[in-house]
Chains A and B, each alone.
Chain A
Amino acid sequence: MSEVSEYRKQEDSIDISARSQALETGTETELLTINFGPHHPATHGVLRLLVTLEGEVVRDLKPVIGYLHTGIEKTAEDKSYWKVIPVVERMDYLAYYFNAHAFCGAVETLLEVEVPKRAQYLRVIHDELNRIMSHLVWVGTSALDLGAISMFWYGFRERETILDLFEMSSGQRMHTRYFQVGGVIEDIPNGFVERVRAFCKIMPDRVDSYMDLLAKNEIVLQRLRNVATLPAEELLALGVTGPLLRAAGHPWDMRKAMPYSSYEDFDFKVPIGTHGDNYDRFFVRMLEMKESVKIIEQALDGLPEGPFITEDRKVALPPRWELATSMEALIHHFKLVTEGFRVPPGEVYYPIESPRGELACFVRSDGSSKPARVHMRDPSFVNLQMTAPMVKDHYIADMIASLACLDPIIGGVDR
Chain B
Amino acid sequence: MPDATGLELLAQELRDSEPGSVRDTEFFRGKGALHIEPPAVRATLLFLRAKGFEALMSVHGLDYYPEEPRLGVQYELLSMEHLDRITVKLRVPLDAARVDSVTPDWPTANFQEREVYDMFGVVFDGHPDLRRILMPEDYEGFPQRRDFPVGGEPVLFTKDEAFGRDYTA
Mark A residues whose CB is within 8 Å of B. Answer: 65-66, 69, 71, 73-75, 77-78, 109-110, 112, 236-241, 252, 257-258, 346-349, 351, 358, 360, 362, 364, 372-373, 375, 377, 381-382, 384-385, 414-415
In contact, A239 and B57 (Cβ under 8 angstroms): yes
For A382, list chain B residues within 8 Å (CB): 108, 111-112
Which residues between 77 and 119 of chain B lie within 8 Å of chain A, taking CB atoms? Answer: 80, 83, 85, 87, 89, 106-112, 115, 119
Main secondary structure of the interface of B (DSSP, over half): mixed
Q: With A and B bound together, what is the CA distance between A65 and B114 in angstroms?
A: 12
B135 touches A377 (CB 8 A): no
For the residues of A in contact with B, the DSSP-based class is: mixed
Partner of A252, one of B63, B80, B109, B148: B80
Residues of B within 8 A of A375 (CB): 60, 62
A-B pairs, 9 with minimum CB distance: A239-B108, A377-B58, A66-B134, A69-B134, A373-B62, A375-B60, A237-B107, A238-B108, A78-B150
In whole angstroms, what is the CA distance A381 to B108 when docked?
Answer: 10
| Interchain CB contact under 8 A, A239 and B56 | yes
User: In the complex, which residues of chain A have a beta carbon less than 8 angstroms from the beta carbon of B74?
Assistant: 347, 349, 362
Contact B54 A236 (CB under 8 A): yes
Chain A residues, CB < 8 A from B63: 373
8 contacts between A and B (CB under 8 A): A65-B134, A66-B135, A78-B150, A237-B106, A240-B108, A346-B29, A362-B58, A385-B111
Q: Is the CB of A362 within 8 A of B80?
A: no
The complex places the Cα of A112 from the Cα of B143 at a distance, in Å, of 31
Q: How far is the CB of B101 from chain A (nearest CB, A)?
A: 15
Indicate if B76 sits at the interface (CB-CB under 8 A). yes
Q: How far is the CA of A238 from the CA of B74 in the complex (A)?
A: 18
Q: How far is the CA of A119 from the CA of B56 in the complex (A)?
A: 31
Considering only CB atoms, which chain A residue lies closest to B33 in the complex? A347
A258 and B62 contact, CB distance less than 8 A: no
Asked if residues A349 and B112 are in contact (CB atoms below 8 Å), the reply is no
Contacts of B128 in A (CB 8 A): none
Q: Chain A residues with Cβ under 8 A from B119's Cβ?
A: 73
For the complex formed, measure the closest distance between the CB of B162 and the CB atoms of chain A, giving whole angstroms: 28
Q: B55 near A347 (CB under 8 angstroms)? A: no
Select A348's contact among B29, B133, B134, B148, beta carbons within 8 Å. B29
Residues of A within 8 A of B57 (CB): 239, 241, 351, 358, 360, 377
Give Cα A252 to B148, complex, Å. 39
- Among A78, A109, A349, the residue within 8 A (CB) of B76 is A349
Name the one of B29, B112, B133 contacting A65, with C-beta atoms under 8 angstroms. Answer: B133
Taken together as a complex, chains A and B put the C-alpha atoms of A241 and B115 apart, in Å, by: 19
Q: Is B19 an interface residue (CB 8 A)?
A: no
